[in-house]
Structure 1
């Protein structure tokens, strides 16, 4: 459920919303932070959340910070979390409900920051609130929809959530309120969006897409010339390789 074994082409096809969000994170970082085009830098300033500006009527700043990040590392970690935990939920909910949940949780995190934080000039950006909303939905499953998630994956969610919750308070420059209210937002909307949801099954996902292919194309004259992609645990090794790399990067960065 949380170990990605799909190849790149399958991932893009099976999880279009997660793929789009990750691509958007790096696209915006590339133009706003790396290339620093004039209009892009101004656009980032226009989209960053700031309490005093929201108070003055710039309410779009409750939404736009969800898609912006402070630097490459910030975008990388949030995108990595989204790639690990977003795909299963996207397939369980469907595209529309996943988008609704993601935006609802992200906005809830930004509203919480606006209402509770006393600093009028506090600025914030990042997808962390929306990603914690994903954890909120999974926590609701663990507590109230046990048929949607097995014991092993429940333990993974609880462990990752505990680590994330600890890091929220242990590290500096973290928007704690966005994390907390994003989590609450995901948990609150879970009963609505999980209605009629089914447990995640990669086999069923592949079968469903294969059926869609057979309905669209009844005969492919070149199908025998296509090479099959290698099977196995390549995806699992890639995931663990990235985890090890990020862990080492974090340790070196703190030294």
Structure 2
């Protein structure tokens, strides 16, 4: 369920919402850090409780898409790539967006009310991503028809590790992590109404493939295999770098 076998092309086709979200993460990251107007984007988009109190309510949404640190954007984007696809396929585009955004907004609302007006500037997709973990937590406990046992054990382990790291590492918005997970767990029962069990064994078939030309098939398959393998190796390295950065930076 969480083992990705797609290459870049098939990933974009199967999971367009996640692809767009990751692209937004990366684009805004480079805009803030390298492009003209980046300081303005950061200043008017970062989460500031005092600014929300004064009427900047959009700051309950905009921080979900913003990252400043390189490892921050990599870690959150890779987490979304690894753990988001089963939910996007299970829920569909609209319901997945609803779960993701509502979890992030709940996390930022909680940061506003619990953190107080003097709470430091915060940003990042972590609250929304923990909302996905909260949704999985509910599914593991109450909708076992939607998830296999191995995936259940994996997601629970990751959730525990994520919560532990929330309190161990400095400069983390603890409120966003905790309440993002709670928000996802609260929203998912409504979002799951009418949802069919996750199809674990779907395979990808290229509609443009020419079956009567074996040489063409082999050549194209080799290219896909090579590109897909490189793509996921790179992602694995980035995940490792993200984890290391959480410990040492």
Common fold: TM-score over 0.5: yes
Q: Deviations over 1:76-111 (max 9, x none)?
A: 100010000001110000000000001100000000
TM-score by length of 1: 0.86
Specify the alignment match of 2:204 in structure 1.
206
CA distance in 2, matches of 1:223, 1:47: 54
Unaligned runs of 5+ in 1: none
Structure 2 residue corresponding to 1:111, chosen from 86, 109, 112: 109
Shift of 1:70: 2.4
Answer with 57-66 or 193-202: which moved more: 193-202
Question: What residue in structure 1 maps to residue 123 of structure 2?
Answer: 125
Q: Is the 8 A contact 2:107 2:180 kept in 1?
A: yes
Label 1:250 to 1:50 Cα distance change in 2 as closer, same or farther (>3 A): closer
Question: Counterpart in 2 of 1:32?
Answer: 32
Partner of 2:70: 72
Q: Cα deviations across residues 128-165 of structure 1 (Å, max 9, x unaligned)?
A: 00000000110000000001011100000011001100
Relative distance call for 1:125 and 1:97 in structure 2 (3 A) is: same
Change (3 A) 1:244 1:114: closer
- Name structure 2 gaps, 5 residues minimum: none
Q: CA deviation at 1:123?
A: 1.2
1:155 matched residue in structure 2: 153
| Whole-Å separation in 2 of the counterparts to 1:108 and 1:55 | 16
Q: Is the Cα–Cα contact under 8 Å of residues 3 and 239 in structure 1 kept in the other structure?
A: no
Question: What secondary structure sits across from 1:228 in the alignment?
Answer: helix
Query: Does structure 1 conserve the Cα–Cα contact (< 8 Å) formed by 2:25 and 2:65?
Result: yes
Change (3 A) 1:45 1:223: farther
Change (3 A) 1:186 1:59: same
Give me the whole-angstrom Cα distance separating, in 2, the residues matched to 1:131 and 1:152.
21
Note the alpha carbon deviations across 1:194-220, whole angstroms, 9 max, x for none: 12223333543636xx6xx5xxx8xx8
Which consecutive segments of 4 or more residues in structure 1 shift more than 6 A? 220-223
Partner of 1:85: 83
Q: Paired residue for 2:195?
A: 197
Q: How many residues are aligned here? A: 242
Preserved CA contact (<8 Å) 2:133 2:155: yes
Match of 1:228 in 2: 220
Contact 1:90 1:98 in 2 (8 A): yes
Which among 175, 178, 202 is matched to residue 176 of structure 2? 178
Query: Structure 1 CA distance, aligned partners of 2:182 and 2:49?
Result: 20
Shift, 1:244, TM fit:
3.9
Q: Alpha carbons of 1:40 and 1:172: their partners in 2 closer, same or farther (altered >3 Å)?
A: same
Q: Which residue of 1 aligns with 2:9?
A: 9
Q: CA deviation at 1:250?
A: 4.8
Let me know the Cα RMSD of the aligned residues: 2.5
